[in-house]
Structure 1
């Protein structure tokens, strides 16, 4: 009985799927989906020639230090970096002493406990502390940003598709709304408190352009601080915060490939040796 009912039930499922597919196709032809502003004007980020691109890519420590400076002087006013501690910054070429100094200069309001009274207190940050958030909690963050919550940037390049290029494109992509958009999609006009950016999913975001002019940050190494350069530097830095072991992964992958090539060669030679006297 089961042998008879099994194929019948299977055919029933197939029939239902074919019926649904047919009616879906008919509905698509009769009432095609309407074009939207997001579909028509959303842009995908262009590729940036970062030093860490490719299987043999490496981080440029000078660029990472410049990116940290951009984050500190521009981005840290709104965005946290809660998964990165000050001592992690030694991977960027800083000494332990420099990391301690940077921690002490960064913030004097790290939450703590008074060891004598047990009351809440604040102190200067130390190297083992994580980079502090600019706001004490989510409510304060939203209140300071017209209801929008600035995302933590620790893993932002992993949380967004094509993250490094996306961050660079977003930072440099602010512009006026195209006339064609306003003509064909007047309902998509950028509202008060929002800013048009074709690289953002819905074209409008609450964050004002953070990088607005050349020279906004002064680089100690003499690099010209154009908007494009600052965007590249902070994108590289945020790529490092999201994947600090990227270079180790590249080295491991290369070693694995070399091993597989050698192993394949040895396997082929063993095969030839074992079967050389056998007739096929």
Structure 2
């Protein structure tokens, strides 16, 4: 049985970081990792039976919630849909965590081993390895096979992980982590949500909060002194990466798995203003930060709008 029960103060502390100005940010993150990290193989109750009435995520976060199609669905279909949706999101998370690990490792290649930046970067890679295994086990426990991004997105990811550097690499990392963070903060408190999803969400929220702070820290440092052309280029590449990540979060195959007409379901999801509003609210903090760094240009905004991030 899970022993994790971080309260709001704990979660806020891990997101905002320690305010001890006498030590550098990466060292504080290392200290936080030592004090507050989890082993999913122990913390998650992998042997517990799945309650057939529990959702995979809060119903309000379903791509069809609030549509006429949702109203027509049976309770069983709603449960099945949300389980496949969360499995798809977890699968996308694994895909991007693998990209993230390669970018961070490449960025730290022959880095200064004694420095806290290098050591926290490797700590982050270790965290992401555990998270990927955790999500894979959760999908297996729910009896749902892996969902994969579209082929073109897989190839774009292959290029991104090989070429992205500096604020572009860490900007892509931040986008993926910020969007999922808001969702999971809701799921981990959802009384109707499967305990396995609630616990894995808690683990991810606590540990990813440090990763987001590190990404912001790296972005500020890397873009300092950059000229307008570099900022415009970086802004556009980060926005394209965000579009690819968000557009692949929920695979269209989830609708057929729930016994729905895929064409009708996709159309309903694309027109679902309720879900679009949730997405915009979940990205508000991210957009403020990008704007602060001069990375919210007009061309970049066009890509964010396509996936309802603004």
TM range (shorter): under 0.3
Q: Structure 1 length as normaliser, TM-score? A: 0.24
Instruction: Tell me which protein shows more strand as a share of its residues.
Output: 1
Under a length normalisation based on structure 2, what TM-score does the superposition of the two structures give? 0.23
Tell which has more relative contact order, 1 or 2 (C-alpha 8 A, sep 6+): 2
Q: Which has the higher helix share?
A: 2
